[in-house]
Every structure is written in structure tokens, then in C-alpha cells.
């Protein structure tokens, strides 16, 4: 009986130890994912052709309905619902696919 209890306690201690090591790792992974998400949604995108930064915040015109709006380039057009799938690089003219697509 007491032997069984010891085994249960040992198992609980083992689980506690595993969680003590695992929890900070899980937290670190969660923070890393959050930072990666933030990086994806930052206000510039790097051009894969010329490596220049292309600003995503500014005055944009919807390619479908010509509605003009200030804000984040890859956001949904409030007039027709279109979401831009690419942006033209201001430095070299090459098109860059949306990092969100």
C-alpha cells in the first residue's frame, strides 16, 4: 500500500519536474511565434529582387474599384472587399507577393 503511494508520489514529482522544464520552453515558443507574426505584419516588406524595404503604410488605391484609403496595404478594401495579393516594389518595380497569402 505504502509502496504504491510512493510510486504515485514519484510519478507526480516527475511530472512536476517535466513541467518545470517544459513550461518555459512552451512559453518561449509561444513568444517566438508571436514575434514572428509581428514581423510578418510589420509596416515594411523586403523586396526579394533588390532587397530594399517597401513601405506598406500609406495612401493606396484599390486595384479593383479604385477606392483610395490610408493604412496597411494588404488590408481588405472596405468598398469592394478586395484583398491585394501583391505590391509593386518602389525601388526596382518588381512585384512582391503578399506575406499574408
Give min distance, CB of 37 to Zn ion, in A: 24
For residue 59, the cross-strand partners are: 70
Residues whose CB falls within 8 Å of the CB of residue 4, separated by 6 or more in sequence, listed in order? none
For residue 53, the cross-strand partners are: 46
62 lines the binding site for Zn ion (CB under 5 A):
yes
Three-state secondary-structure class, residue 20: helix
Which listed range, 3-11, 18-26, 30-38, 80-88, lies at the site for Zn ion (CB under 5 A)? 80-88
Judged by the rule CB under 5 A, the positions of this chain that interact with Zn ion are 47, 49-50, 52, 62, 64-65, 67, 77, 79-80, 82, 89, 91-92
Amino acid at each position: 500500500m505504502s509502496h504504491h503511494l510512493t510510486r504515485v508520489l514519484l510519478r507526480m514529482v516527475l511530472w512536476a519536474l517535466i513541467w518545470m522544464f517544459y513550461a518555459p520552453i512552451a512559453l518561449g515558443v509561444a513568444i517566438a511565434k508571436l514575434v514572428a507574426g509581428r514581423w510578418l505584419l510589420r509596416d515594411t516588406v523586403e523586396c526579394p529582387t533588390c532587397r530594399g524595404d517597401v513601405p506598406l503604410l500609406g495612401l493606396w488605391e484599390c486595384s479593383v474599384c479604385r477606392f483610395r484609403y490610408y493604412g496597411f496595404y494588404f488590408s481588405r478594401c472596405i468598398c469592394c472587399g478586395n484583398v491585394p495579393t501583391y505590391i509593386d516594389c518602389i525601388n526596382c518595380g518588381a512585384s512582391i507577393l503578399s506575406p499574408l497569402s
